[in-house]
């Protein structure tokens, strides 16, 4: 608090004296105005999850995400579930800030309960959940306080498959196979090659092996990834999220590379 | 009838309360059973007009995934109470990140109901509420009365036929029944307390929370409801 009455209700410019209250007393010299920086909002994600992959196949959609939440480059939490069932026909996969993701989970759980208690024989499908999330994320970015996530929403309702993306800006798009984060660079070419044109013939087993292969490639190339991941499936039977799957990897080739691991010379 | 009630509601507190309780006593019976692995709620919904759509104006409502309630008395008041209970359940969820135990919801709800007995500017709630849930600590069942009193029960009955229903509930070994068996018994009791000669048509409304519903409050499935109704009718013939 500035206790000098001549400082009250004035511009913060020391040199300007609009009220001509000359002679001025010595005004306290604030080196920094505490309000000058304004309110601080999320500037960067802190604890993060890496890529989420998803594809459509014959009976529905499938999604995969590993179990890691990183703190910067530190592999901080190694058994985090990044796939979340919303209602009976939708699954949500999140990359980006994990605390924002947990907040989104509580938002959605409240939404689903609200719809459930209405008891009107209607429930939210993947399209509605995706639309809701896109409105939430866009409104938050417009408040300059984004929820720092890239989300995939997938599901199947009334025989219709749905798969779409929404990110921290509220940007949305839909495709037969989508990936977030590093996966958008590394896995998308693999997934598109395997899926496009075959959405209606691909079996569950094939879809699963395609996703596993893409997750393996990502584990080799993405330094923020983990070899433990889960697969979520949505088909006519509803949502099921698998137990943690551990990737089998071979690092024998590394032995011959100089500057990689323990070298004797 | 309605305007007469509305008029007399403006009279002094005691007669006002009397009228409200009369409304509850004349309303279709609602019962609740707390059994081994769950809760069953059943309501005798009197149909005052043939023009009404079947299954409209439900008297059993969901408060949360695992909490259901049935009311007897003014339906409009029952809906207000359900909305309040939902808000309380949601508020518990957002502060604790966990599903609310029924006792907490009932305590908050009864406090709300009691507040409406304190002021001359508002009338008390014209409905008795049976509220039940199933969670990790097992099944729970309460009645919240217009006075704000709330007690826990093994078997609960409110509305017109509550005396007979209570007698029937006392005959059951509630803690040994499964929810499926309790559905049959609940239907039987509702059919038993319904007075065919005096009353209008009625619709049996039932919901349950149990292992079979994964701890979620759901309407009893159609086939089971029909089976229960058939058995209730058979039992009634043998009874008479």
Going along chain A from its start, the domains and CATH numbers come out as 47-243 (3.60.20.10)
Confidence class for position B9, pLDDT limits 50, 70, 90: very low
DSSP secondary structure code for residue B62 in this structure: E
Residue at token pair 């498959």: A161
Distance CA A246, CA A37 (A): 47
Confidence class for position B8, pLDDT limits 50, 70, 90: very low
Residue pair A62/A15 in contact by the 8 Å Cβ criterion: no
Give the residue, A50 or B3, on which the prediction is more confident: A50
Interface contact B94-A110, CB threshold 8 A? yes
Dihedrals phi, psi of A194, to nearest 5 degrees: -80, -30
Q: In chain B, what percentage of residues exceed pLDDT 90?
A: 80
In angstroms, the separation between the Cα of residue B73 and the nearest Cα of chain A is: 21
Distance CA B219, CA A170 (A): 38
Confidence class for position A36, pLDDT limits 50, 70, 90: low
pLDDT one-digit tens code per residue, A179-195: 999 999 999 999 999 99
* Alpha helices (runs of H) in A19-70, residue ranges in sequence order: none
Which token pair is A104? 């989104």
Which residues in chain A have their CB less than 8 angstroms from residue B97's CB?
106
Q: CB-based contact (8 Å) between B122 and chain A?
A: no
| A42 is known as an active-site residue | yes
**pLDDT score for B145:** 95
Give the residue, B24 or A118, on which the prediction is more confident: A118
CA dihedral sign, ordered A164, A165, A166, A169? negative
This model of the complex carries an ipTM of 0.85
What is the reported pTM?
0.83
Cα diameter, chain A: 87
pLDDT one-digit tens code per residue, A121-131: 899 999 999 99
Which residues in chain B have their CB less than 8 angstroms from residue A114's CB?
86, 90
**pLDDT score for B56:** 85
**pLDDT score for A125:** 96
Distance CA B169, CA B166 (A): 5
Round the average pLDDT of chain B to a whole number and report it: 90
Confidence class for position B23, pLDDT limits 50, 70, 90: confident
Q: CB-based contact (8 Å) between A117 and chain B?
A: yes
**pLDDT score for B221:** 96
Average pLDDT over residues B138-155: 96
For chain A, the residue count is 265
**pLDDT score for A41:** 75
pLDDT one-digit tens code per residue, B124-143: 999 999 999 999 999 999 99
Residue at token pair 């604790």: B96
Residue pair B113/B13 in contact by the 8 Å Cβ criterion: no
Distance CA A48, CA A149 (A): 9
Per-residue CA distances from B201 to A59, A253, B1, B32, B45 (Å): 46, 81, 20, 21, 9
């Amino acid at each position: 608090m500035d206790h000098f009455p001549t400082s009250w209700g004035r511009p913060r410019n020391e040199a300007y004296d609009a009220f001509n209250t000359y002679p001025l007393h010595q005004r306290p010299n604030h080196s920094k105005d505490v309000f000058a920086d304004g309110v601080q909002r999320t500037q960067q994600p802190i604890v993060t999850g890496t890529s989420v992959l998803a594809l459509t196949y014959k009976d529905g959609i499938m999604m995969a995400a590993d179990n890691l939440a990183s703190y910067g480059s530190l592999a901080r939490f190694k058994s985090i579930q990044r796939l979340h069932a919303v209602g009976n026909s939708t699954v949500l996969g999140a990359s980006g800030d994990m605390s924002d993701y947990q907040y989104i989970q509580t938002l959605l759980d409240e939404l689903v309960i609200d719809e459930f208690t209405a008891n009107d024989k209607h429930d939210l499908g993947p399209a509605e959940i995706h639309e809701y999330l896109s409105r939430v994320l866009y409104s938050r970015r417009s408040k300059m306080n984004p929820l720092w996530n890239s989300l995939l929403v997938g599901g199947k309702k009334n025989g219709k498959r749905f798969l779409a993306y929404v990110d921290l800006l509220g940007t949305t798009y839909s495709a037969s196979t989508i990936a977030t984060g590093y996966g958008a660079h590394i896995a998308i070419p693999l997934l598109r090659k395997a899926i496009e044109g075959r959405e209606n013939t691909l079996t569950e087993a094939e879809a699963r092996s395609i996703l596993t292969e893409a997750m393996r490639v990502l584990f080799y190339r993405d330094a923020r990834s983990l070899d433990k991941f889960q697969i979520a499936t949505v088909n006519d039977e509803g949502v099921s999220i698998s137990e943690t799957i551990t990737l089998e990897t071979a690092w024998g080739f590394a032995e011959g590379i100089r500057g990689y691991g323990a070298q004797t010379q | 009838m309605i305007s007469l009630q509305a008029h007399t509601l403006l009279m002094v507190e005691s007669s006002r309360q009397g009228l409200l309780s009369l409304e509850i006593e004349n309303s279709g019976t609602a019962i609740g059973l707390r059994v081994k692995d769950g809760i069953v709620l059943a309501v005798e919904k009197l149909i005052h007009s043939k023009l009404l759509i079947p299954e409209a104006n439900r008297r059993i409502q969901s408060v949360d995934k695992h909490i259901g309630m049935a009311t007897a008395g003014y339906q409009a008041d029952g809906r207000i109470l359900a909305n309040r209970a939902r808000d309380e359940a949601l508020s518990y969820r957002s502060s604790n990140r966990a599903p609310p135990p029924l006792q907490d919801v009932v305590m908050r709800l009864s406090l709300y109901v009691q507040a409406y007995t304190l002021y001359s500017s508002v009338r008390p709630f014209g409905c008795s509420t049976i509220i039940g849930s199933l969670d990790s600590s097992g099944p729970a069942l309460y009645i919240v009365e217009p006075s704000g009193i709330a007690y826990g029960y093994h078997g609960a009955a409110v509305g017109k036929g509550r005396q007979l229903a209570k007698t029937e509930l006392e005959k059951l070994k509630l803690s040994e029944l499964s929810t499926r068996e309790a559905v049959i018994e609940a239907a039987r009791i509702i059919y038993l307390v319904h007075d065919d000669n005096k009353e209008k048509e009625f619709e049996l409304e039932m919901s349950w929370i149990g292992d079979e519903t994964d701890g979620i409050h759901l309407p009893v499935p159609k086939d089971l409801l029909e089976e229960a109704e058939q058995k209730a009718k058979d039992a009634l013939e043998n009874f008479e």
